[in-house]
Amino acid sequence: MQAPSPSDLAPRQASLLAELRHAEGELSGQELHARLRGGPGAMGLATVYRHLRQLQQRGLVRCRHLPSGEALYAPTERDEHHLTCVDCGSTVRLPNCPVHDLRLPGEDLGGFLPMYHTLEFFGLCGQCRGDRTSG
């Protein structure tokens, strides 16, 4: 997948995207807001969320929600998936993408252009399974 050039983005969207690409893992809106604070890319929290929404609409950023309701953002070119425990909320990254080579069925998608995918697994982590079986 080609990485879209930040040059055709609004400056604030470009700095959010750069921050997400620079980050080791996913970031929440709050974390992005805190990271940009005091720098040239500083913006209010509502502005952070507004631009994150627009980046999602452009297929550059994806978002997933933890059981706590917290939303985490990552650049779509990073093909990552997670296991999330519904009990304690812990989340673990899969070592690789299980559907990376998947082809969408049929040639004709009615003009639809796929840009990215999401895939999440929910269940019980080893720790929480242990708690349940022993108690």
**Where do contacts with Zn ion occur on this chain (CB under 5 A)?**
79, 85, 87-88, 97, 125, 128
In the complex with Zn ion, which residue's Cβ is closer, 44 or 126?
A: 126
Least distance between Zn ion and beta carbon 112 (Å): 18
Task: State which residue, 23 or 128, has the beta carbon closest to Zn ion.
Answer: 128
Backbone angles phi, psi at 121, to 5 degrees: -120, 135
Phi, psi of 63, deg, nearest 5: -135, 140
Q: Tell me the closest approach of the beta carbon of residue 90 to Zn ion, in angstroms.
A: 5
**CB of residue 83 vs Zn ion: minimum separation in angstroms?**
10
Query: What span, in angstroms and rounded, lies between the C-alpha atoms of 133 and 121?
Result: 21
